Structures are given as C-alpha cells and as structure tokens.
Amino acid sequence: MVARADFEHSDGAEGAEVRFTGRLTLARLGDVPARLDALGPIATLDLSALERIDTVGAWIVTRTVNEHGAKIVGASPDAERLLEALASDKSEYRVHRDRRPAWIRMLEQVGTASTAIWHELLGIVGFFGAMIVALGTQIRARRRLRWNAVVTRFQTVGVDALPIIGLMSFLIGIVIAQQGAVQLEQFGLEVFTINLVGRASIRELGLLMTAIMVAGRSGSAFAAQIGTMKLTEEVDAMRTIGVSPMEAIVLPRVAASTITMPLLGFYASLCAIAGGGAFVWIGLDIPPLTYIQRLREIIPMTDFWIMLIKAPVFGILIGVTGCYEGMQVRQNAEEVGKRTTSAVVAAIFLVIVLDALFAVFFSSLGWN
C-alpha cells in the first residue's frame, strides 16, 4: 500500500520544522491541512522525503509558505516545477460572487421581482405592439400571411387538443350539475340545475377552462420552441437572411391561437352542456329533449356573444405571451425552462384578470 501524506515536526528556534513524508497528493491528503493549521508558526518545510507531490500538494506547501514565511528545503525537480508555476502569479483569483447580508439580499429580491413583473407586463405590451406593426407592414407590402405555418399550428393547437379539452369539459359539466343539484334540491328547485350548467358553461367556464388548457399545451410549446430556436441562433440566422422572425414565427402562431380559441371554446361549452345533460338525465330524470328545450329558453344570445368576444382576445393573449417569453430566452438551456414556465403562468394569470374585467364590463352593459 502506498503511504498517505503525513508529516513529522520538531520545534526549532523560529518555529516548527516540518518534514513531509509519503505522497502529498489530492487522493492521499487526509487530515494534513487541518493538522498543519493547528501547528502554529512554521519555519521550514522539508520536502526531501516526499514520494510524490501534485498540484494540490504544491498548493498546500505554497499556502504554508505564504502564511508563515516558511522556507522550503529539499524539493525534487518535479516539486520545484510545480511550486514555481504557483509562485509566479500573485494576483487575487476570485471564486465567489460578492456576498451581502441576508436582509439586504431579501429586500433586493423583493425589489427585483417587483420590477421584473412590471417589466414583463411592459414587455408583453411592447411585443404586442411590435407584432401589430409587423402585421401592418406585411399587409402594406402585400406579402401573404404564411398560411402553411398557420395551418400546421391549427393542427397542434386546435385539432390535437380536441380529445383532452372535450373530456375535461364534459367532466366539468357533470361536476357543476352534480354540485348544483345537491344545493338546489334543498329548496326543491333542482330543475334550475339546467340554468346553472347552461349559462355557466356558455358564458364562463367552457372558455376559461379551454384558455387554461391551451395556455398549458400551446403557450408553453410556443415558448419552448422559440426559446430553443433562439439558443441555436436560428432566429438570428433568419434575421440575417432577411426573413422577419415576427412574420415567420410569431404571427402564424398568434394567428392560429386567435382563430382556434373561439372554436375550441364553443366546442368546450357544448361538451360541458353534454356532460351536465348526462347527469341531469341520469341523476334527476330530466330527458334530453326537455333539457335542450329548457336551455333554449334560458340562455340569452348575449351569453354566446360574450363568449365569442372574449375567445379571440384570450387567444391573442396566450399566443403573444408564449412567443414573447420564447423570444426572451438568452444564454442557456435553463432559461428555456424558466421562460416556458413563466409563459404559462403569465398567460393563465392574465386570462383570469381579463375575464374578471370582461365580467364587470358586460354586466354594466346590462348583458346579464
């Protein structure tokens, strides 16, 4: 077995004389640094009995020399080469970023996060503006919208989402009907379950759930795709060739999500109504025909218009947020993940805020 690093020491007039033995290498360092530190003043370091020394060993020696002003004796040519390489450079090499007290860092984080939210909002609005300008130039220059790209997105944003959105809405319809029925039964008014399901799904829930699903499925996909394209410099390459990334990447995606949202929202509302109808039929013994007749009586046309007005707005919002976050990706792969997350979070948050504004707005119009 190879000897690990060790040392013997004897006290001299000006400090300890340390004689290293074994191998002063990273693998065999053991507790040598700690014991050296405990030793007090050191006058000489004798390296003559060392079997081998590596860069870490050389560093330990240099460190001791610098701290104690110790002399080195008996270094082999190998050791000397290593030590020389170390001694020639005296600049301060930094390892960590500057550290500040915890409370300052906390304040700083709160501050940065707050301004980040503000900048993000400004950024999204600015990006939306840039997109409108790009659309304007495209129309003025009579360049055609890239329909092929739009149709491809149709497939992924719309058609591929049909099964999951349908199933989700159907189940939500059942849940609303069931919960509503339990409450309304107490007053003997379970027939009004139909009002609840019908109006809630057409006016709010169908579209809202669709928006959340689309933000999660497609907003995130936009951000990740564009983010990766940014990382691989595809977007820069596009710019150099003279293709505007706004026209080629952003507009088709936003167009697709804007056009599909009303369709998906309407489809989701129908699925929710179907789910509610299934529960009403089985749970409350109201036949489907009566259910549909009743729906026609209670759902005003304005509910439908409200949905159709909100849907494209949500679509634009999800598309723009996804593309904006994707375009913000810089530097590394971790950014893609972060930006994708914030695309989804920002999109869902903004959709719900806007939905609340719309609710107040339409109520004050008298569209109850």
**Exposure on the CB side of residue 161, measured as CA atoms within 13 A:** 28
Name which position in 97, 140, 144, 296 contacts other proteins (CB under 8 A): 97
**DSSP classification of residue 93:** -
- Token match 């609340």: residue? 356
Structure token digits, residue 1: 């077995």
Instruction: Candidates 106, 122, 333, 357: give the one binding other proteins (CB under 8 A).
Output: 333
The residue within the footprint of other proteins, chosen from 13, 95, 241, 289 (CB under 8 A), is 95
Of 83-91, 222-230, 237-245, 358-366, the window that binds other proteins (rule: CB under 8 A) is 83-91
Report the distance separating Cα 321 and Cα 31, nearest Å. 56
From the list 30-38, 198-206, 246-254, 348-356, the region that binds other proteins by CB under 8 A is 30-38
Tokens of 365: 């119009």
Give 98 or 285: the residue with its C-beta nearer to other proteins: 98
Token pair recorded at residue 239: 């710019």
Tell me how far apart the terminal alpha carbons of the chain are, to the nearest angstrom.
Answer: 88
Q: How many residues bind other proteins (CB under 8 A)?
A: 35
Nearer to other proteins, 63 or 199 (CB): 63
- Closer residue to other proteins, CB minimum distance, 67 or 185: 67
Q: Give Cα 91 distance to the centre of its chain.
A: 40
Q: Which of 109, 179, 183, 332 binds other proteins (CB under 8 A)?
A: 332
**Segment 301 to 330, residues that bind other proteins, using CB under 8 A:** 330
Q: Does 38 bind other proteins (CB under 8 A)?
A: no
The single residue among 13, 92, 187, 364 that binds other proteins, judged by CB under 8 A, is 92
Integer Cα distance of 10 and 16 in angstroms: 6
Supply φ then ψ for residue 33, to 5 degrees: -60, -45
- The residue (of 45 and 58) whose beta carbon lies closer to other proteins is 58
**27 touches other proteins (CB under 8 A):** yes
Hey, what are 15's tokens? 């400090």
Q: Which stretch binds other proteins (CB under 8 A): 21-29, 130-138, 180-188, 293-301?
A: 21-29
Q: Is 99 a binder of other proteins (CB under 8 A)?
A: no
The region of 49-57, 105-113, 210-218, 355-363 touching other proteins under the rule CB under 8 A is 49-57
In the list 13, 89, 148, 187, the residue contacting other proteins (rule: CB under 8 A) is 89
User: In terms of Cα–Cα distance, which of 332, 312, 359, 344 is closest to 221?
Assistant: 344
Nearest to 256 by CA among 151, 360, 111: 151
**275 is written with which tokens?**
């789910």
| Length of the chain measured in residues | 368
> Which 3 state secondary structure label does DSSP give 119?
helix
Which residue, among 286, 273, 281, has the nearest Cα to 202 in the 3D structure?
A: 273
Q: Which is nearer to other proteins, 33 or 216 (CB)?
A: 33
Q: Give the interface with other proteins as residue ranges (CB under 8 A).
A: 1-2, 4, 25-31, 33-34, 54-56, 59, 63, 78, 81-82, 85-86, 89, 91-97, 330-334
